[in-house]
Amino acid sequence: MKNLITAVLMTIVTTVLLGLVYPLVVTGLAQVIFPDQANGQLIKKDGVVIGSRIIGQPFGGPGYFHSRPSAAGAAGYDAGGSSGSNLGPTNQKLIDRVKADVERLQAENPGKLIPIDLVTTSGSGLDPHISPAAADFQISRIARERKMSEGEVRQVVNAHTEGRQFGFLGEPRVNVLELNLDLDKLKPMSPEAPSR
């Protein structure tokens, strides 16, 4: 009987400590020390949340840089359904989607090599970044739609190109949401242009 009482008391104590106290302390410390990161690095415009620095979202208008394709959820970019498609390289559905993306991108920039991240999804389906090559591929379309020079657009892209973390981890990347927001500040799209 003594062992049973000890086991029940130990279960109650560890549940309270590890299930309530520890999460509350960690959450409180995160809110005090790293509030932006703890709250999802949300980006607000005129007091309204429009996205997150760390979660990708789609941009469809021709005057906006487009994100990587997403397989997260039924329509893509679903943070609740974060995952890749798990389709193998010989799967016909994947082959058809990539072919369609390649044809669309070749029509946009005939003869130009298509960066791989513009036709492949990331493991999470929510990657907020594209490669500098993927951004460069889209510069001529953005310049034409926003009536800017390619040099002006390239300057904005360069300002948003992040290097490797700590100088050696990962690859250079461009945050699509932040890039598009800066373009909207610099040269807003005309009212009749399709929105993102």
In terms of Cα–Cα distance, which of 169, 155, 174, 172 is closest to 67?
174
Q: Angle, nearest 10°, between helix axes 132-146 and 92-108? A: 50
In terms of Cα–Cα distance, which of 53, 58, 80 is closest to 69?
58
Q: What is the pLDDT of residue 113?
A: 94
Q: Where are the domains of the chain?
A: 1-39, 41-186
Q: What is the pLDDT of residue 146?
A: 94
Q: How far apart are CA 165 and CA 158, in angstroms?
A: 16
- What tokens does 46 get? 């005129």
Q: What is the pLDDT of residue 67?
A: 93
Q: What is the pLDDT of residue 190?
A: 62
The pLDDT profile of the chain, 196 residues, written as one tens digit per residue, is 899 999 999 999 999 999 999 999 999 999 999 988 888 888 888 889 888 899 889 998 899 999 999 988 878 888 888 887 888 889 999 999 999 999 999 998 888 999 999 999 888 888 999 999 999 999 999 999 999 999 999 999 999 999 998 988 989 999 999 999 999 999 887 654 444 5
Q: What are phi and psi of 142, to 5 degrees?
A: -65, -45
Q: What is the pLDDT of residue 194?
A: 44
Q: How far apart are CA 184 and CA 88, in angstroms?
A: 38
Q: Are 61 and 195 in contact (CB under 8 A)?
A: yes
Helices (H), the chain: 2-16, 22-33, 35-38, 92-108, 132-146, 150-159, 176-186
